[in-house]
Each structure stands twice: as C-alpha cells, then as structure tokens.
A and B are shown apart, each in its own frame.
Chain A
Amino acid sequence: MQHQHGPNCGCAEYMFNEDADDLYGQIEIDKVDCLNETAQNIKQIIRPEIDKTKKDHYVQSDLDSEIIVIIPFNETVRIRQINIVSLNEGSAPNLMKAYINISNVDFGLIETPCVEQFILSPNLDGLFGNAVKISKFENVNNLILYIKSTINDPIRISYIGLKGIRTFQSKQLANTIYELNPLAKQVDPDKVVFDSVC
C-alpha cells in the first residue's frame, strides 16, 4: 500500500509542511514562461493540486532534454515543496535546479550556482513533492526551475505544483497622485474659496 503522509510519519517531504498550502492562487499564470518547449502550453500545466494527476496537457522539451520554467508570483511567498509530475517514465526528468528572484533568464543561468539542486524521481502520481531548504526560499517573488534529464530525450512534464506559505506582502508599482496645492475643500470643507485642480 502506498505510504500516506501524516503528522507522525517522519518523512522528510512532509516534515514542517503541515501548514503549507497550495500556492496555485499566488502564481501569475499570464506571466509564466518556459524556454525550449515545443509548443507554448506551459500555462496549462500549472494547475491546482486537485488536478495534478491529469495527463491531457504536457510540456515537451525541444532541443536537448532540458527546459527552464519561470514562475512569477503576485505576492512574496515562502516555498516549502516543489512537485513535478512527468507524463510517463520514458520522458521523466532526473535533475532540477532552482533559482529565485532573477530577471532576464536564459540558459546562461545554469552556469551560475543554484539555490538548491534536486534529484527527481518519475513521480507519475504526484505524491512525492521535493521539500526545499526552508531558509533559502524565504522571500520568493519569482521562481526559476531548470529541469533536465541525462537519460531521456525529450522530457515531458504534465504538472508543476508548489506548496508554501503566503506572506500577503507584495512588490508593486505605487499608484501616486501628485498635488501642488491641496484642494481647499479637502483641508477645510467649509472654506471653499476657489476650486483649483493641479
């Protein structure tokens, strides 16, 4: 029987992750990007956790069995677990490197040291999420995953899921209105001498 995680199982993947939630709602799906995929369907494999076993959409690598997935968030999050589900065993990746908060990503990135490196198992049913080192994934606005296989070519991935904790803080452009003089009626409503709008 498959092992079911519970509070007392002591598995590394489950420890410290009882309060981690699915971060699907915090991912900015429109801005998700993937380098070196054959068709542009990366947005269809980012799904809520319930749908993680669905195999109708997948991302396939184009040249050389490696892809880079760029996942921006709409608020700062703390990542606890990264879950990769591949389509089948013959196209499963076996190596993943994770980077955080990098803009202008291209394949030159992999020559720089990564935040954390993972060995992936085929994980066809999505039960084994890779737990991350918590301290290194504290303030994440932008997650970059480099996924490859040294054996299979090409690789096909049907689901990418993230679990973690929201901080409810976000980095955004401030919408400001500049005033030269405050409007008289805002300072003292009884005293409207003349209305000037700047």
Chain B
Amino acid sequence: MPLEAAVVVLDNSEFSRNGDLEPSRWNAQQEAIELYINIVIDSNMESGMGLILGGGKQVRLLMTPTNDRDLIQGQFHKTRLEGNLKFSVALQQASLALKHRINKQQHQRIVAFVASPIEEEVDTLVNLAKRLKKNNIAIDLINFGEQNEEHLQKLKIFFENVQKGSSSKYINIQPGMSATETLFSTLGNYSDFQAEPGQQQQQAPQQSTGGQFSEYGGFDPNVDPEMALIMKMSLEDEAQRQQQQLAQQLQQSQQQQQQPQQQQQQQIQEEKIENVIEEENDELLEQARLLSMQIEQQEQQEQPNQTAQQQQKQSQLTQNQLFQDQNFLDELLDDVNKDEEQEGLLKKDADKSKKD
C-alpha cells in the first residue's frame, strides 16, 4: 500500500439504523472502519486516516488524518444517528481536509460510506465527481444496503466520472451479506476489481483480469511506483523462466529422437528398455537394470550405452547452463542408485554362483 491519507465519510443518518445488514448498517460501517484501519495504517506507518460525519444537522469533521488508531476508534462513542446524509457537502469537506494535510507526499483518498438515498441531482454529482478527479483524489465508494434503482444509477454515474486509472473502487453490499467478508475479499488484494455480491470471485493472478496496468501486475505506476516496478520485474522473470522450460523441453524431445538412431544395431528388446530408461535420464539406474538381465548381453550393450548417454549428458549440460537443479537431482539419484548397483552386482554374483 502506498503512502496515503484517507478520509472516511460516515453515514450517521437515520437510515443507518436499518437492520438489513446485520446487526445494523451503522455497525457494518464500524466494522468496515476496522478493516480500513488495517489496510491504510498498518501497511504504511506514515499513512493517515480521518473521519467526517456526513449526516446529522451539520457535516462535522471528527478527525483530521492521523495514524493513531485509538483516536479513530474512540470517535464512535461521540456519534449519534440523526438527520440525513449530505453527500456532496461531506465530500467537499473531505477534499478540503485532504488539501490541508500536513504531509503532502500522501496520496489523497476519500472513502465514502453511503447508507441512505442520495438527495442530490445527477448534474451536481457529475460536477462534484469531476472536481474530485481534477484534484487527483481517489474515491472508494461503498454502498451499505440501499438497493433502490435510481440510487444505484446515481452512484454508478458518480463513480464513472470520478474514476481515474485503477485506484478508485465501487463496492455494493447487498442486504443479507456480510460487509466485512465482501470488503475483505476485494480490498484485501487491493487491485482494480469491482465486487459483485454473490459471485465471490477469488482474485486471479492479476494478468488475467486484463486491468489497465497488467504489465505492472495491476498496480498503477503513478500511484505506487515501487510496487509496480517490483511486479514488472517478477513478471518478466517468470516469463523468462517459462521460456527456458519450453526450450529445454524442446531440446529433450530432440535428443530422444536422436537416440533410437544410435541404437538401431542392438536388439529390439534392448532398444525399448533403453528408450524408457533414457527418458528417465539416469545412467547408473540403467546399468543396474541391465545387470538384472542376461549377463553376456549386458556386457556387450553397456559400452555403447555409456557413450551414448555421456554424449547426451554433455550436450545437455552445454545447452542448459542454468540447470543447476538437475545436477543436484542427479547427485541425489547417484547416491540412491549406488545402492541399486550394489544390489545388481550381488544379484550378478548370485546368478554366477547358481550357474556354477
């Protein structure tokens, strides 16, 4: 999370007494504040969070952006549910509070909790939205419960006009849902994702959402340049690694095609076994298996097998210089197969003694 100053506009109008979000819309807002405190303050010590009461007789600034969570949580005792939400006045006061923040490095964000129908007309809302966008303020618009068509339409128009890049969010919490779960699933990952309740989409890797900044892993480089750079580098590393894997698989399949040509002189049974073994790519394991077959044929076959496998191994090593993992695995398998080889040798001695 980048350095941010977030001012939360609470809806303490009478509509928040409504119990369609359990236990009430006001309680849901309180829980949501807890979540936001974690997101904003705990992720970056210098971020700040402020509070504004949007309802009541007058819009009141409770707290300027601060990073002291006890101060913020203590404000809830002073609040009463009364009056109606004054949406545009509250947002304008919030933008003023942000304009006068002490640390100008903090990005500006307003979190608007809406739990009552918006009284303003669409034109006023559009004007307000453009003014917020002009001042580069990101908006998180969270609708608690109110599902009136006209209301949702107003919110949608407001959000479209205020959106710049991918840092603003619109979340609609429908009655019967758990507010914290919905919020956590969307805000916990903090990417460009509009929550539709009931779908419960898990966050796919951010490339697949096809957001505006997918090459930076979904992070807006203007908002958070360090995170965007880190994501870009890790995505490039991943792409490189996959390319190397593909290249290596191609080489392996090519070498497997070469091997049958080298071993056409030998018997068919041996060729089949060798092809199977060469796919496993282990020299000593093959020796052990051959030892368990007839002894005379083994001795004739071992020598051309070894040369073929040595060539194969050398060519692989020269072509795959970065494949240190494979060498490590080979060493492990060598240790394991030494035991098998000893067993094979014991079997060979046993066979010899039986024949004798």
Residues of A within 8 A of B (CB): 30-31, 33, 35-36, 40, 62-64, 103-104, 106-108
Contact = CB atoms under 8 A, between A and B. Distances in A.
B127 interface: yes
A33 B164 CA distance: 11
A33 B135 contact: no
21 contacts: A31-B221, A31-B222, A33-B222, A35-B134, A35-B135, A36-B130, A36-B133, A40-B164, A62-B133, A62-B134, A63-B127, A63-B130, A63-B131, A63-B134, A64-B134, A103-B105, A104-B104, A106-B108, A106-B136, A107-B135, A108-B99
Contacts of A62: 130, 133-134
Q: Chain A: interface secondary structure?
A: loop
Nearest to A38: B130
A103 B106 CA distance: 11
A31 B221 CA distance: 8
Contact of B136 (A35, A40, A64): A35
Q: Which 9 A-B pairs have the closest CB atoms?
A: A36-B134, A63-B130, A106-B136, A62-B130, A106-B135, A104-B104, A63-B134, A107-B135, A104-B105
Interface of B: 99, 104-105, 108, 127, 130-131, 133-136, 164, 221-222
A1 B136 CA distance: 45
A134 B34 CA distance: 53
A89 to B, nearest CB: 25
Given A31-B221, A35-B135, 20 more contacts: A30-B221, A31-B222, A33-B222, A35-B134, A35-B136, A36-B130, A40-B164, A62-B130, A62-B134, A63-B127, A63-B131, A64-B134, A103-B105, A104-B104, A104-B105, A106-B108, A106-B135, A106-B136, A107-B134, A107-B135
A63 to B, nearest CB: 5
Nearest to B108: A106
Residue of B99, B108, B134, B221 most packed against chain A (CB within 10 A): B134
Contacts of B164: 40
A62 B131 CA distance: 9
A30 B220 CA distance: 12
Contacts of A108: 99
Nearest to A64: B134
A144 to B, nearest CB: 13
A31 B165 CA distance: 13
Nearest to A104: B104
A62 B105 CA distance: 25
Contacts of A30: 221
A40 B130 CA distance: 14
A64 B127 CA distance: 11
Contacts of B105: 103-104
B99 to A, nearest CB: 6
Nearest to A173: B229
A35 B222 CA distance: 13
A77 B222 CA distance: 22
Nearest to B131: A63
Q: Which of B130, B136, B221 has the most CB of A within 10 A?
A: B136
A62 B297 CA distance: 87
A106 B222 CA distance: 13
Contacts of A64: 134
A50 B105 CA distance: 38
Contacts of B135: 35, 106-107
B14 to A, nearest CB: 33
A146 to B, nearest CB: 12
B189 to A, nearest CB: 24
Contacts of A107: 134-135
Nearest to B136: A106
Contacts of B99: 108
A33 B220 CA distance: 12
A106 B136 CA distance: 7
Nearest to B137: A106
A87 B221 CA distance: 30
Contacts of B131: 63
A108 B100 CA distance: 10
A35 B132 CA distance: 11
Nearest to A108: B99
A182 to B, nearest CB: 23
Contacts of A35: 134-136
Nearest to A30: B221
A31 B223 CA distance: 11
Nearest to B104: A104
Nearest to A36: B134
A104 B104 CA distance: 7
A129 B136 CA distance: 30
A35 B134 CA distance: 6
Contacts of B136: 35, 106
Contacts of B133: 36, 62
Contacts of B222: 31, 33
A103 B104 CA distance: 9
A33 B225 CA distance: 14
A40 B164 CA distance: 9
A61 to B, nearest CB: 9
A63 B131 CA distance: 7
